[in-house]
Amino acid sequence: MDLPVDAWKSYVFQKWSLLPKSIQDAISTADTLRDLFLHSSSLLQPEDEMFLKSLSGGYLVGKDPSAPPFYREEGNKKFQKKDYTGATVLYSKGISHARPHTADISLCYANRSAALFYLDEYEMCLKDITRAQMHGYPESLQPKVTLRKVECLVTLGRLQEAGQTIRHLESSFAAKPTLAAAQFQILQRNLCRLKMKVKERENLTATFPEVVTKVFEDMDLREENEQIASASSSVGLRVDPLRGRYLIATKDILPGELLVKEDAFVSVLNPGERPPLHHGLESKWDTRVTNGDLYCHRCLKHTLAMVPCDGCSYAKYCSHECMQQAWDLYHNIECPLGGLLLALGVFCHIALRSTLLARFEDAGKVLKKLCGEISNKDMCSPESENLIQALSSDVGGESEKNGTGVKTPVPGCDINGKYENNYNAVFHLLPHTENHSPEYKFLCAVSVSALCKQLEAADSSKPEAAVPPVLCSELNIWGVAMLKQMLQLQCNAQAITTIQQTALSGSKENNVTDSRLVRLATGIFPVVSLLNHSCSPNTSMSFMSTVATIRASEKIGKGQEILHCYGPHHSRMGVADRQQKLRSQYFFDCGCPACQKEKHRAAVGPRWEAFCCNRCGAVLQGGDVLSCGSTSCTESVSREHLISRLQDLQQRVGSARNLLSNGQLEQAIQLLLAYRHDAENFLSAEHSMVGEMEDALAQAYAALGDWQKSATHLQKSLRVVEVQHGPASVEMGHELFKLAQLFFNGFAMAEALHTVQRAEKVLMVHYGPCSDEIQELQKMKSCLMDSPPFSLGPSV
């Protein structure tokens, strides 16, 4: 996903292996990124471009009039089965493939408005009706959507507008009675009903309370840092030769304190794994749903009512505003390159988009900033120097004025020493050129130069200059900059995640939700990138739209380093795997306290991976042969045997989970209980697999509506999570949240209140008071507080 598609990767690697040794050497030992780029670029042949073109062509990213009728039909099938969400997504797919101002697009919008109506999404429904009409919805069908519009307006309490719309509709019938008599009668009856509804609502509105608005306190940094944009004043920027740039606490920091709140400089939505096309199937149109169908391609907001780009079927947005902004900032250039960008992967796409964004930072200013650094040779890598010189040669006098005198203390800061979320900062993230393999560098260079060639071609084919002058006249220079970025991304790309809630139980009212962290996009956050890694960090990170927030997850004393986990967390991965991952992806050996501690007791391993003795239940210890830890027991067993037993169990639990998701609850429970019993013979009670089974059992009982049993199993799963991730971890917060919902739905008031408070305490530290989770918990709490004290039913 991040890298180019496999077919292109292996093509380029093959090309590399066939290069004469002398050329390979010249590229491997290129002194500068500029040489690397120009040399690789000169090797790109027309047939290579043709091959890449054929790969890009496999992505259906254009408009195609045959798609909308297909998707509308499929959507209608879902609609009839009352799967309104499923229908909405399929109508959206139809909309994105339809050309603007056609019957196709307007019909899809109108159908989607109906599905949204049944999902109680009245605002979105209204917008879709307007869109349908804007794109030329057929006159004869107007009354149908207009009635829907009135229903929405009434439900939303916008009674004046509702009244106006009714009157308008009535007068248009009177003017041209195009409807058959029977239809007209139905319409009349509906209008009558709606008029009465308006009346009723008018009498009621006085008693309706004002909508509670979200609390926005603590959403922003209390005091912004003077040196580092987007950081709080409790944070300081330091640099030393060993650690590079890093952040420290300049005062004592308490758990939950907001330290960084930064909007991505650039972000690109992850398209999700796209399966190759299977020709010969009944339809070439894919009905599967990916994140690209559910999240705005600019702001990453979740929405069921996407608005597509007018030019392609790939880019979709939450609103017309997002679409326009994306178009003005970058999509006007990216739109014709859709398939190519998908084939070249997210990293290449980010590199292009950053460059397109850099244009808006007043090119002169960017160059000045870059030139400012020439004076400080020690801080400046040879590559960037070279590029800066190349860049500055085009602005002539400008650089000379600024190239003298002022020194910048930390790379990436401006001449006043301020570190900002801008291209200058992005440009100074380390590319680790010396650590990447020659093939990898060649792959990046060739991919970027293929992209540059396409940009050039797009430019010359369009007289109105799609590529703005700054880009096209210096395409090679920006090509080097893009290459540098691509190389930076392996270490500096930040996954933007969101918590996806899935309902455990079917019914809409008594929802218990399971939360899963999913990767939505990849972005660059220059300030977040200043943080060093620890496998047991003292901060916690979360995202809202494209904004990252970092909060202290524990007390951080003045002068201590602020640390963040790059992925391999000590509660999810063993020390050997973490070390390996950090070395291969980030090129360093982790010496964090967790790693040092674990290296010393590697023989025992963590409790959530421990096997236990068949005979006495004590924890087993050792390498290839494990022996019982209890002195009075002589049991021993081979690790291989235990591992195959565990794998076997994993597989069975997997199939029990499948039964569960197919609604075969009783069967799933029977199996899970048996497996659970079996596991007691060889897994410790805190083994993560045991936790997984307990969690599945909790889900199954919740789906049956047996809250008590569900809660009992969830509490056991909670214990495993607590051992593995710690009592104050975000994972623990989510489990407590689930448990609170269970108690709440089961009317176990005392337990519910207690658990809500625990969940709130934990999640507040990680997400802050404005998160959806905290808001939901507070709603539950106030509901519980209002109830008569603990008299409403059974306790677990």
Residues near Zn ion (CB under 5 A):
296, 298-299, 301, 309, 311-312, 315, 318, 322, 335, 535, 590, 592, 595, 613, 615-616, 618, 628, 630, 633, 635
Q: SS3 of 501, please?
A: strand
CA angle 585, 589, 592 (to 5 degrees): 115
- Residue 722 CB, shortest distance to Zn ion, in Å, is 22
Q: CB-wise, 315 or 388, nearer to Zn ion?
A: 315
Q: CB-wise, 62 or 403, nearer to Zn ion?
A: 62
Tokens of 249: 């606490």
Nearest to 560, CA basis, from 259, 350, 278:
259
Half-sphere exposure at residue 489, Cβ-oriented, CA atoms within 13 angstroms: 28
Q: CB-wise, 312 or 358, nearer to Zn ion?
A: 312
* Long-range contacts, stretch 714-719, CB < 8 angstroms, 24+ apart: 714/738, 714/739, 714/742, 715/739, 716/690, 716/691, 717/691, 717/692, 719/685, 719/686, 719/691
Query: Given the structure tokens 């494209």, which residue do they identify?
Result: 546
With a CB cutoff of 8 Å and minimum separation 6, the contacts of 377 are: 385
Q: How many residues does the chain have?
A: 796
Nearest to 414, CA basis, from 478, 367, 377, 477:
367
Amino acid at 143: P
Q: CB-wise, 686 or 694, nearer to Zn ion?
A: 686
- Residue 636 CB, shortest distance to Zn ion, in Å, is 9
- Residue 195 CB, shortest distance to Zn ion, in Å, is 37
Q: CB-wise, 244 or 438, nearer to Zn ion?
A: 244
Amino acid at 784: L
Ordered strands of the 258-263 beta sheet: 258-263, 547-552, 539-544
- Residue 246 CB, shortest distance to Zn ion, in Å, is 15
- Residue 320 CB, shortest distance to Zn ion, in Å, is 10
Q: Are 611 and 683 in contact (CB under 8 A)?
A: yes
Distance CA 234, CA 500 (A): 32
- Residue 208 CB, shortest distance to Zn ion, in Å, is 30
- Residue 253 CB, shortest distance to Zn ion, in Å, is 21
Q: CB-wise, 15 or 127, nearer to Zn ion?
A: 127
- Residue 502 CB, shortest distance to Zn ion, in Å, is 23
Q: Are 270 and 519 in contact (CB under 8 A)?
A: yes
- Residue 176 CB, shortest distance to Zn ion, in Å, is 39
Cβ burial of 38 (10 Å; 0-12, 13-18, 19+) is: middle
Q: CB-wise, 58 or 617, nearer to Zn ion?
A: 617
Q: Are 748 and 796 in contact (CB under 8 A)?
A: yes
Q: Could you give the maximum distance between any two Cα atoms of the chain, in Å?
A: 98
Distance CA 587, CA 217 (A): 40
Parallel, antiparallel, or unpaired: how do β-strands 625-628 and 636-638 relate?
Answer: antiparallel
Q: CB-wise, 318 or 759, nearer to Zn ion?
A: 318
Q: CB-wise, 236 or 292, nearer to Zn ion?
A: 292
- Residue 591 CB, shortest distance to Zn ion, in Å, is 7
Q: CB-wise, 221 or 595, nearer to Zn ion?
A: 595
- Residue 311 CB, shortest distance to Zn ion, in Å, is 4
Q: CB-wise, 465 or 616, nearer to Zn ion?
A: 616
Distance CA 455, CA 392 (A): 23
- Residue 630 CB, shortest distance to Zn ion, in Å, is 5
Nearest to 98, CA basis, from 288, 291, 297, 310:
310
Query: Given the structure tokens 């524990």, which residue do they identify?
Result: 554
Q: CB-wise, 77 or 615, nearer to Zn ion?
A: 615
With a CB cutoff of 8 Å and minimum separation 6, the contacts of 626 are: 611, 620, 636, 637, 638, 639, 642
- Residue 631 CB, shortest distance to Zn ion, in Å, is 10
